[in-house]
Every structure is written in structure tokens, then in C-alpha cells.
Chain A
Amino acid sequence: QVQLVESGGGVVQPGRSLRLSCAASGFTFSTYGMHWVRQAPGKGLEWVAVVSYDGGNKYYADSVKGRFTISRDNSKNTLYLQMNSLRAEDTAVYYCAKDKGDEYYYDSSGFYYFDYWGQGTLVTVSS
């Protein structure tokens, strides 16, 4: 069965960096796009970033562009989110999510809906 397990969250001071990981299993990781989505305490879902199945295309929300970097290691079935210059407003539960569309779907139509999610990891930015 598909499993996505996030790790790397914690308390960090403003301006510092943190790297999140998402370990994937139960599917062919290298053929699906992967997303990060966050949810601030008591707030709604905010899409953060996406990486295509081969790592060749990456897109970001304006709120994190230039500060966050999404990447993947298909040999390790792992997704990453490098977060730099963290701000208080980055405090949230961060979820990784699997795109429903495989490499063939992506090449013809782009990204699709999210069919599996991890349990989330909490990032708190505070001095």
C-alpha cells in the first residue's frame, strides 16, 4: 500500500533553515510528480511546491519562491523541501502528497489531483 512519511519538522528560529523529507513506498516513486502542501494552525490548505516525476520541472507558490527548494532522489524514493530564511508565517503542518498522474499523464496534461497524503510534520518558526 502507498505510504508517505514526512520527517524533519521542529522548532526553528526566524531566518534559519530546515530540510523536510518525505519517504515514499508502495508505488513506483520515479514515475509520479510530488507536492508539498502546508496548513498553518487553524487555517486552510496552501499548496507550496511541486516537482515532476523526473525532477526536471519545479514550481512554487509565490509565498515561498526564492526561499524554498523542492527536490527528489528517485534512487532513495525520497522527496525533500529545503526551507531557508524561515519566517513566523511559515509555521504550519507540512504534508507531502502524491500526484495522481504518472509520467505519461504529466507529459500530455501536466499535474493532476492528489491521491495520497502523508501524515504531516509540524514546523514552528519562533524565537
Chain B
Amino acid sequence: DIQMTQSPSTLSASVGDRVTITCRASQSISTWLAWYQQKPGKAPKVLIYDASSLKSGVSSRFSGSGSGTEFTLTISSLQPDDFATYYCQHYDSYSGTFGQGTKLEIK
């Protein structure tokens, strides 16, 4: 089974900062990767799919890149609403494996 590993587990940053979260796959997954944002007590919301495609309605401050085994989610200028937990997810014909999550905290 393919494993997804995110880093860091926790990230402290300030409003206006540019931040990057990394997700690594245990084997090549092409660009079959999505990024989700989850706020406490709420269901996750998709931000990016196919590694770099921005979901309609999502702020352009979010961007994704990568292919194969290494992927990044970048938030260009943090806003107060962006402090949340972020998950990467690999999807294929058999499953939808998530990374362990990255909690983005206010510094």
C-alpha cells in the first residue's frame, strides 16, 4: 500500500507569511493528489486536486505543485482564516489514502 507522509506536523506562522507544506508518497503516484483544509468540528474541504489544479471558488493564494513522490502546498500570504489543519490525499482505483496532517498555527 502507498503511504503518504506530510511535513511538518505543526507549523507556526504569522498573518502575511508565505508557507509551504510537503507531502511525500512511498512510491510514484504521478499527480493523483489532492489537498484538503479542515477546521475544528467541520468536514474537510478540497483546495487542490491533480496536484496543482485549484478547485473552483478557492482563493488563488493556495497553490500546489509536484509529481511522482514529492508534492507541496503553498499559501502565498497567510490570512486569519487559513489557520487550520491541512491534509494531502492520494487517490487511485482502490483507495484514498491521507497524510497525517499539518496543523497551521498562529505564531
Contact = CB atoms under 8 A, between A and B. Distances in A.
User: Mostly helix, strand, loop or mixed at chain B's interface?
Assistant: strand
Interface stretch (A10-18, A66-74, A83-91, A110-118): A110-118
A61 B97 CA distance: 9
Given A44-B101, A95-B43, A119-B43, A113 B34 contact: yes
Interface of A: 35, 37, 44-47, 50, 59, 61-62, 95, 100, 109-115, 117-120
Contacts of B99: 44
B98 A111 contact: no
Given A45-B89, A114-B46, 18 more contacts: A37-B98, A45-B44, A45-B101, A50-B95, A62-B1, A100-B49, A109-B93, A110-B91, A110-B92, A111-B92, A111-B94, A112-B91, A113-B34, A113-B46, A114-B34, A114-B36, A114-B96, A115-B55
